[in-house]
């Protein structure tokens, strides 16, 4: 584990987020930008891993690439965490800013975890299930690269935020996108995931959902990640913020319920107090370690030697 000290979230930013909470949904894009900007300034002072290899291609499209983060001491024998960014299906970058989303992988590298920040194609150019197929292809390339570095691919975990969590969960649960040997991941981490396709009036991202999944509601259930959970699905950790984009907390709870019904026990579940849809990712690699610690605990508890008892 790195001994570098991550920065505290100042009281002024906590107060600003508290003030945003009751009106978060009134301007989701604007509030996302504001929170990302505020955390970017803090993350500029956060510890970074020394070795980052950027723009490793896994396909011909410019978005089909990833950045690889190596912890101090290298990759040999280390677990791997693959992160998939959000953006409402039609937007988003694996490097949204110089600090976000690299902060996610820098955070876990401090604890000896190899990280990959994975990009994918966006709607409307890409349509369901293209992003999930990108994840499948990206994972193949990440395995190839990290195997050569000696990483422990039996401990490879997939993590997604928002729309990225929808794509990651679709890959993890839907056997149509798996190679013959299965998904090849030890577990899935869903953070504020829009894991149900929905274009109803309560969804402010309905048009973006349609851009990726189409406009026929009759097809939405079969395309939704939550619909493909089964007794043999990979171990899953589910987290969402206290102040979420509309419906996302409900979708995350639906996923947790579906897992509980199928497996006979609830998954690991965390509602992160005082955080919103942007800060739940942007705060990682600060001194607020609640979410990151819970994810590390999940990863340790679901390693291949112990997952059989879960």
Q: What is the tens place of the pLDDT at every residue in 128-171?
A: 999 999 999 999 999 999 999 999 999 999 999 999 999 999 99
**Does 132 fall in a domain?**
yes
What's residue 266's pLDDT? 97
Q: Is residue 8 part of a domain?
A: no
Report yes or no on 28 lying in a domain: no
Q: How far is CA 69 from CA 124, 149, 228, in A?
A: 30, 12, 31
Q: What does the pLDDT read at residue 308?
A: 37
Q: From CA 287, how far away is CA 187, in angstroms rounded?
A: 25
On whether residue 126 sits in a domain, the answer given is yes
Q: Do 193 and 245 meet the contact criterion of CB atoms below 8 Å apart?
A: no
- 8 A C-beta contact, residue 257 and residue 236: no
- The closest alpha carbon to 80, from 70, 72, 95, 65, belongs to 70
State the sign of the Cα–Cα–Cα–Cα dihedral 69, 70, 75, 78.
negative
Domain boundaries, position 113: 51-309
Instruction: Convert the pLDDT of each residue in 69-87 to its tens digit.
Output: 999 999 999 999 999 999 9
Residue 288 belongs to a domain: yes
Whether a cis peptide bond, with omega within 30° of 0, leads into 124 is: yes
Cβ neighbourhood burial of 294 (10 Å; 0-12, 13-18, 19+): middle
Q: Which two tokens stand for residue 124?
A: 């409307």
Cα separation, 55 vs 65, in Å, equals 6
pLDDT in tens, 239-268: 999 999 999 999 999 999 999 999 999 999
String of b and e for 96-114 (b: at least 16 CB within 10 Å)?
A: bbebbbbbbbbbbbbbbbb
Kindly state the DSSP code that residue 98 receives in the 8-state scheme: S
In a domain, 40, yes or no: no
20 pLDDT higher than 70: yes
Q: Is residue 64 part of a domain?
A: yes
> How would residue 117 be classed by pLDDT, with cut points 50, 70 and 90?
very high
The pair of structure tokens assigned to 140 is: 């193949």
- 261-310 pLDDT tens trace: 999 999 999 999 999 999 999 999 999 999 999 999 999 999 886 443 33
Whether 191 maps to a domain, the answer reads yes
| Exposure on the CB side of residue 156, measured as CA atoms within 13 A | 21
pLDDT for res 1:
59
**Cβ(192)–Cβ(161) below 8 Å:** yes
Query: Nearest-5° angle of CA 25, CA 30, CA 35?
Result: 95
Angstrom distance (rounded) from CA 173 to CA 302: 17
pTM: 0.96
Please tell me what DSSP assigns to residue 261. H
State the pLDDT at residue 310: 32
**What pLDDT sits at residue 9?**
98
CATH number of the domain enclosing 134:
3.40.50.1820
Q: How many domains are contained in the chain?
A: 1
């Amino acid at each position: 584990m790195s001994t570098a000290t991550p920065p505290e979230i100042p009281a002024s930013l906590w107060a600003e987020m508290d003030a945003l909470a009751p009106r978060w949904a009134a301007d989701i894009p604007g509030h996302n930008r504001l929170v990302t900007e505020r955390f970017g300034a803090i993350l500029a002072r956060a510890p970074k891993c020394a070795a980052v290899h950027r723009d490793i291609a896994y396909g011909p499209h410019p978005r089909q690439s990833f950045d690889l983060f190596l912890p101090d001491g290298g990759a040999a024998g280390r677990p791997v965490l693959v992160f998939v960014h959000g953006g409402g299906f039609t937007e988003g970058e694996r490097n949204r800013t110089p600090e976000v989303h690299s902060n996610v992988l820098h955070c876990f590298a401090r604890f000896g975890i190899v990280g990959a920040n994975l990009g994918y194609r966006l709607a409307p150019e890409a349509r369901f299930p293209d992003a999930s197929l990108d994840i499948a292809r990206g994972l193949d390339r990440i395995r190839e690269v990290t195997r050569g570095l000696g990483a422990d691919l039996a401990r490879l975990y997939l993590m997604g935020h928002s729309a990225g969590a929808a794509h990651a969960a679709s890959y993890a649960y839907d056997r149509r996108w798996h190679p013959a040997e299965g998904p090849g991941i030890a577990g899935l981490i869903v953070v504020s995931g829009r894991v149900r396709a929905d274009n109803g009036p309560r969804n402010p991202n309905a048009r973006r959902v349609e851009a990726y999944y189409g406009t026929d509601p009759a097809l939405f259930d079969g395309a939704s990640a939550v619909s493909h959970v089964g007794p043999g699905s990979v171990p899953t950790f589910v987290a969402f913020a206290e102040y979420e984009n509309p419906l996302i907390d409900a979708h995350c709870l639906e996923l947790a319920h579906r897992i509980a019904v199928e497996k006979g026990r609830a998954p690991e579940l965390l509602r992160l107090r005082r955080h919103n849809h942007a800060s739940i990712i942007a705060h990682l690699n600060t001194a607020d370690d609640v979410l990151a610690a819970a994810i590390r605990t999940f990863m340790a508890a679901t390693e291949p030697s112990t997952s059989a008892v879960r």
